[in-house]
Structure 1
Amino acid sequence: MTWLRLYITVEGQTERKFADNVLRPYLASFSVEVKTRVVLTNRKLGKRGGILDFEKIRNDLQRLMHEDYKSEARFTTMIDLYALPLEFPGWAEAQKKKLPTERVEILESALQKEMGDQRFLPYIQLHEFETLLYCDLVQLQQRISGTEAAFAKLSKEVEHLEPEEINEGRTTAPSKRIITHVPIYDRLKVRVGASAAAAIGLPILRFKCPHFDNWILRLEQLK
């Protein structure tokens, strides 16, 4: 069977560690070789991470697709819905929809059209990488000592919400809620975030996060 090369362009180092440690070995069983990269945001300075300007991520993806033009190359993203730049394609139309799932589908479709390459499969995380951690907050709590009470309060706060329903508000986004209760997470996220998600495991992440599950399913079915 011919192997495919899948370039995953991610928003930051936490997502990159997750893709390297979880998605790469998993997708290898589907003959997909994962290559991870953090989005280039300043070419002159070689700076990577964060999406403050859509033009930068578009140019970065276009350069990558031009560099690997082979038919066995595939491309995807793992970027946050939270704090997407307003000039992101499909933004105005997406804001007319009430449900985040509808908004993210419009944005992904618009990004696919914008890039104009059938090898590209966009994915936008509802609403941040930290969404995945809400599938089992105990795994994160165990990696940050002395936070049992704080995480108990956080768990109570979101007990009525599914992980992908935790929204994109400035104080209520997944990461913002964690930082409110456990401020040190802001400095530890790269160290503990990806390992906590890995410990939760893909089966639970997929079961509790349908949009994430759909992305993984599509990656499994790449041809």
Structure 2
Amino acid sequence: MSNIVRCYVICEGQSEEKFINETLGPYFHNHLNIYLIPLTIPTSKRNKGGALSYDRVVNFIVKKLKEDSEAFMTTMFDYYGLDDEFLKENKAITDIYEYIEKIQKDFDDAIKQKCHTNKFFSYIQPHEFESLLFSDITKIIKADAEWDEKLICELEDIIKEYDNPELINNSKETSTSHRLKKIFSSPSYKKVLHGSKIAKEIGIDNIRSKCQHFNKWCEKIHNLKTYQNTKEKQ
């Protein structure tokens, strides 16, 4: 019986890839011997990540699943900025959690129809990766020594508006990344540089306690161990 579980995480961009490598990956490896392997999708011959079209994502995932049928696979995409093809007829749903669960289910079904696997489960973050960082704003303010600690008041004002970080709005002006760039302009907030650093300082358990959809994803990853052991016994 194998004690190792491998799971590819198809990431939207470099910040998510770094987060998997430096924070989420070690969390599951150290606790459960589950290896998370981040992959970004090529968008051209020289570039990866970002600008993810539905067809490009589907083709990449199906190809990888067929190449490595022993591994599990999930995604880490932001809801904010998703290709309209992901959304389809779901826009009538007003609850963000219900909406994203429906998007994920539709996408999972589309993948299963193409490669007949139970080893894929999608994850879409409401609304952005940066939502997770608002789990502890004291760690945000400390991410860069040049940031004025008095700016924490502006972060506190944002947190007061929402029941939890995953509900922070997703419009161009009010998305979590744009809020951080507006508050921290000198030096400016940089997604890849600061994002994973802040998340690492906060800690996965603390993020899970504040972000219910992220926590649900972590539970699914955790359960991969049980799923694999059950299959091996059959």
Instruction: Report if TM-score (shorter chain) is over 0.5.
Output: yes
One-letter code aligned to 1:127? H
Q: State the distance in 1 between where 2:81 and 2:142 align.
A: 28
- The answer (yes or no) to whether the contact 1:133–1:140 under 8 Å persists in 2 is yes
Q: Establish whether residue 212 from structure 1 lines up as the match of residue 214 from structure 2.
A: yes
- The answer (yes or no) to whether the contact 1:8–1:36 under 8 Å persists in 2 is yes
Q: State the distance in 2 between where 1:35 and 1:185 align.
A: 31
Pair 188,68 (structure 1): closer, same or farther in 2 beyond 3 Å = same
Q: State the distance in 1 between where 2:72 and 2:52 align.
A: 25
Q: State the distance in 2 between where 1:4 and 1:46 align.
A: 31
Q: Kindly report which structure 2 residues correspond to 1:147-158, keeping only aligned pairs within 5 A, or say none.
A: 147-158=148-159
Bigger Rg over Cα:
2
Corresponding residue of 1:173: 175
One-letter code aligned to 2:78? D
Q: Unaligned 5+ residue runs, structure 1?
A: none
69, 73, 76: which one pairs with 2:74? 76
TM-score (norm: length of structure 1): 0.91
CA deviation string 1:41-60 (max 9, x = no partner)? 22xx1421113411111111
SS for the counterpart of 1:40 is coil
Q: State the distance in 2 between where 1:63 and 1:186 align.
A: 38
The two structures, once aligned, show a CA RMSD in angstroms of 1.6
- The answer (yes or no) to whether the contact 1:5–1:32 under 8 Å persists in 2 is yes
- The answer (yes or no) to whether the contact 1:40–1:57 under 8 Å persists in 2 is no
Deviation at 1:112, TM superposition (A): 0.2
Percentage of identical aligned residues: 29
Q: State the distance in 2 between where 1:63 and 1:194 align.
A: 29
Q: State the distance in 2 between where 1:83 and 1:191 align.
A: 21
Corresponding residue of 1:11: 12
**Which range moved further: 17-26 or 183-192?**
183-192
Corresponding residue of 2:232: none
Q: State the distance in 2 between where 1:119 and 1:157 align.
A: 38
SS for the counterpart of 1:51 is coil
SS for the counterpart of 2:43 is strand
Pair 58,186 (structure 1): closer, same or farther in 2 beyond 3 Å = farther
Deviation at 1:186, TM superposition (A): 5.7
Deviation at 1:137, TM superposition (A): 1.6
TM-score (norm: length of structure 2): 0.87
Q: State the distance in 1 between where 2:179 and 2:167 align.
A: 13
Moved runs in structure 1, 4+ residues, more than 4 A?
184-187
One-letter code aligned to 1:181? I
Pair 4,148 (structure 1): closer, same or farther in 2 beyond 3 Å = same
Deviation at 1:184, TM superposition (A): 5.1
CA deviation string 1:63-117 (max 9, x = no partner)? 21121123xx1000011000101011xx133211111111100110011001113
Corresponding residue of 1:188: 190
Corresponding residue of 2:28: 27
Q: State the distance in 2 between where 1:157 and 1:131 align.
A: 11
Q: State the distance in 2 between where 1:121 and 1:137 align.
A: 30
**Which range moved further: 160-169 or 46-55?**
46-55
Deviation at 1:34, TM superposition (A): 1.6
